[in-house]
Structure 1
Amino acid sequence: MKRFFLVIIFILPLSLLVSCQHPTQTENLNAEEDMKDFIEPEPSEWVKYSKIVREYMYYRTQAVVKNDIQILWNQYPRLKNDIDFKEGVNVEKEEMESLNKHFDLIDANYNIESYGRMKVNMIDDQNAIVLVHGSTVYLRKDFDESGGEYVMKIFLEKTNSQWTVVKTDEYTQEEYKEWFNSRQ
């Protein structure tokens, strides 16, 4: 029951914003087509990608808990570009502002595979996209929790043998519904 309320806390504000928008291309999303090139990585590759995603989530949750988006942007400067809340692209600042507007946060926990195994789409030797279906739970000052489930694509670019996060694309409510229904 608590998990249900956590999901509502994240989805309700998003649904209010989405319902006020004009139709977008996400309403015509074909979830199966969107997912066709993602596969579960081999164990050695899983270790590499999970470390990259955990590091991103660490900086993201620290930015939210400390109400300072620069913590994330200092590590991944390209995430401050091309922000598009309507499409779910690079929306970390929006999450930080929204949660800190309503709650006093003191800690965070995340699980990058709480709802499903991580999958990867290797674009080429220098670019990959990691699909994550996980959860983030923030501990509030009153020791209650806020947070919930997310489905996110994390875009990676390799430079000098190092992978770095260059873009994130979280599923909006419409995209999530389409994706969820395609799995049924």
Structure 2
Amino acid sequence: MKSVLLRSVMVAVLVSLAGCQQNTTQSEKRIFKAETEGFAEPESSDWVKYITPLREYMYYRTQAVVNKDTTILWGRYPDLKDNINLKQGVNAEGNEVESLNQSFDLIDANYNIESYERIKVKRINDSEAAVLMHGSIIYLGNDFDETGGEYVIEVFLEHRDNHWTVVKTDEYTLPEYKEWMNGQE
């Protein structure tokens, strides 16, 4: 029952992020890209170098939402405040901060990057990689009720100053998510 409720809440969040429906051609391109163009589970030795920047990103993302302040995230990842496209789910974290805080008084958050499946990585070159995350975020309200749920995000990383950093995010919108789920069955 709780799983159904969480999925329903996440669908509502995705709808608010999605705005207008997206062209299905783009959704099909994304599914094809994610499933056939080099995304694969990393070896254990490589997993560590990708999971660490993803944890850091999720920490700053959830802190921005809980503290109602996008500068928490954008101060750490300034590239995310550029090229925002809510219809495509690109760099849409600012909208999440705004929309969740209109409806809820949030006091805490928990995330699990691999709650649905292990990360998948596509190396673009020696200094760039894309990571596909299928996880969950749960926010706790001041009434101790929960909101949040499942997400699918492509996170683009660059190797800068001897560590990997997030330079772009592309969260699946509701139409893309539905297409992706249909492709998983």
- After TM superposition, the score normalised by the length of structure 1 is 0.93
Task: Give the match for residue 146 of structure 2.
Answer: 145
Percent sequence identity is: 55
Tell me the amino acid that sits aligned with residue 5 of structure 2: F
Tell me the amino acid that sits aligned with residue 8 of structure 1: S
Task: Give the match for residue 164 of structure 2.
Answer: 163
Task: Give the match for residue 90 of structure 1.
Answer: 91
Name the SS for the 1:89 alignment partner. Answer: coil
Provide closer, same or farther for how the CA distance between residues 117 and 7 of structure 1 changes in structure 2, counting only shifts above 3 A. same
- The Cα of 1:24 is off from its aligned counterpart by 5.8
The whole-number CA distance in structure 1 between the counterparts of 2:58 and 2:93 is 10
Provide closer, same or farther for how the CA distance between residues 50 and 105 of structure 1 changes in structure 2, counting only shifts above 3 A. same
Tell me the amino acid that sits aligned with residue 107 of structure 1: D
Pairing of 1:50-129 with structure 2 (within 5 A): 50-129=51-130
Q: Which runs of 5+ in 1 are unaligned?
A: none
- The Cα of 1:28 is off from its aligned counterpart by 4.0
Between 1:102-111 and 1:15-24, the stretch displaced more is 15-24
Task: Give the match for residue 15 of structure 1.
Answer: 15
Moved over 3 A (4+): 13-25, 27-30
Provide closer, same or farther for how the CA distance between residues 114 and 23 of structure 1 changes in structure 2, counting only shifts above 3 A. same
Q: Which runs of 5+ in 2 are unaligned?
A: none
Task: Write the deviation string for residues 31-85 of structure 1: whole angstroms up to 9, x where unpaired.
Answer: 2443221011111111111111000000000000000000000000000000101
The whole-number CA distance in structure 2 between the counterparts of 1:103 and 1:15 is 16
The whole-number CA distance in structure 1 between the counterparts of 2:32 and 2:23 is 20
- After TM superposition, the score normalised by the length of structure 2 is 0.92
Name the SS for the 1:29 alignment partner. Answer: helix
- The Cα of 1:162 is off from its aligned counterpart by 1.8
1:32/1:182 contact within 8 Å kept:
no
The two structures, once aligned, show a CA RMSD in angstroms of 1.8
Name the SS for the 2:168 alignment partner. Answer: strand
Name the SS for the 1:39 alignment partner. Answer: coil
Aligned length: 184
Provide closer, same or farther for how the CA distance between residues 156 and 30 of structure 1 changes in structure 2, counting only shifts above 3 A. closer
- The Cα of 1:126 is off from its aligned counterpart by 0.8
1:118/1:133 contact within 8 Å kept:
yes
Name the SS for the 1:46 alignment partner. Answer: helix
1:30/1:178 contact within 8 Å kept:
no
